[in-house]
Amino acid sequence: MQVWQVTALGHPAERTERALPVASSGQARVKVAAVGLNFADLLMAEGKYQERPTLPFIPGMEFAGTIDSIAPDSATGLQPGDRVAGFASGGALAEYVTAQAAHLIALPASMSFAQAAAFQIAYGTSHLALDRKARLQPGEVLLVFGAAGGVGLTAVEIGKRMGARVIACARGAEKLEIARAAGADVLIDSDTPDLKAALKAAAKPWGGVDVVYDPVGGPAFAAALSACRPEGRLLTIGFASGQLPDIPANHLLVKNLSVMGLYWGGYMTFAPQVLADSLRTLFQWFAEGGLRPHISHELPFADYPKGLELLRTRKATGKVVITL
Does residue 200 share a domain with residue 93?
Answer: no
**Same domain assignment for residues 258 and 129:** yes
Phi-psi region of 289 (alpha: psi -120 to 50; beta: other; left: phi over 0): left
Nearest to 203 by CA among 151, 179, 168: 168
Nearest to 109 by CA among 243, 263, 268, 286: 286
In this structure, is residue 223 part of a structural domain? yes
* Shared-domain flag, residues 110 and 23: yes
136 and 248 in a common domain: yes
Mean pLDDT of 139-148: 97
Residue 61 has pLDDT above 80, yes or no: yes
| 324 Cβ contact partners less than 8 Å away, ≥ 6 residues apart | 32, 33, 34, 35, 65, 95, 300, 301
Q: Calculate the average pLDDT of the chain.
A: 94
The yes-or-no verdict on residue 89 having pLDDT over 80 is no
Predicted local distance difference test score (pLDDT) of residue 172: 95
Q: Are residues 168 and 250 in the same domain?
A: yes
| Percent of the chain surpassing pLDDT 70 | 100
- Tell me, what's the pLDDT at 213? 98
Is the pLDDT score of 84 beyond 90?
yes
pLDDT in tens, 180-211: 999 999 999 999 999 999 999 999 999 999 99
Q: Is-above-0.85 flag for pTM?
A: yes
Would you list the DSSP string of 71-125? -TT-TTS--TT-EEEEE-SS--SBSEEEEEGGG-EEPPTT--HHHHHTTHHHHHH
* Residue-range definition of the domain harbouring residue 97: 2-119+293-323
Mind giving me the DSSP string for 172-203?
Answer: SHHHHHHHHHTT-SEEEETT-TTHHHHHHHHH
Q: Same domain, yes or no, for 311 and 240?
A: no
* Segment 156-165 mean pLDDT: 97
Instruction: Note whether 173 and 98 are same-domain residues.
Output: no
Q: What is the mean pLDDT of residues 22-51?
A: 91
Q: Beta partners for 206? A: none
Same domain, 80 and 147: no
Taking the C-alpha atoms of residue 76 and residue 243, their distance in angstroms, rounded to an integer, is 43
Distance, in Å, from the CA atom of 286 to the CA atom of 305, rounded to the nearest integer, reads: 30
Q: Is residue 277 part of a domain?
A: no
CA angle 252, 239, 222 (to 5 degrees): 30
**Per-residue pLDDT at 269:** 87
For residue 73, what pLDDT is reported? Answer: 87
Burial of 117 (C-beta count, 10 Å sphere; 0-12/13-18/19+):
buried
Q: Strand, helix or coil at 137?
A: coil
Mean pLDDT in residue range 68-87? 91
**For residue range 244-270, what is the model confidence (pLDDT) as tens digits?**
888 889 989 999 999 999 999 889 889
Q: What 3-state DSSP class applies to 265?
A: helix
Q: Give the pLDDT score at 40.
A: 87
- Of the chain, the end-to-end C-alpha distance in Å amounts to 12
Cα→Cα distances 28→34, 63, 79, 100, 192, Å: 17, 13, 9, 6, 49
Does residue 294 sit in helix, strand or coil? coil
At 81, which CATH number?
Answer: 3.90.180.10
> For residue 35, is it within any domain?
yes
Domain presence at residue 269: no
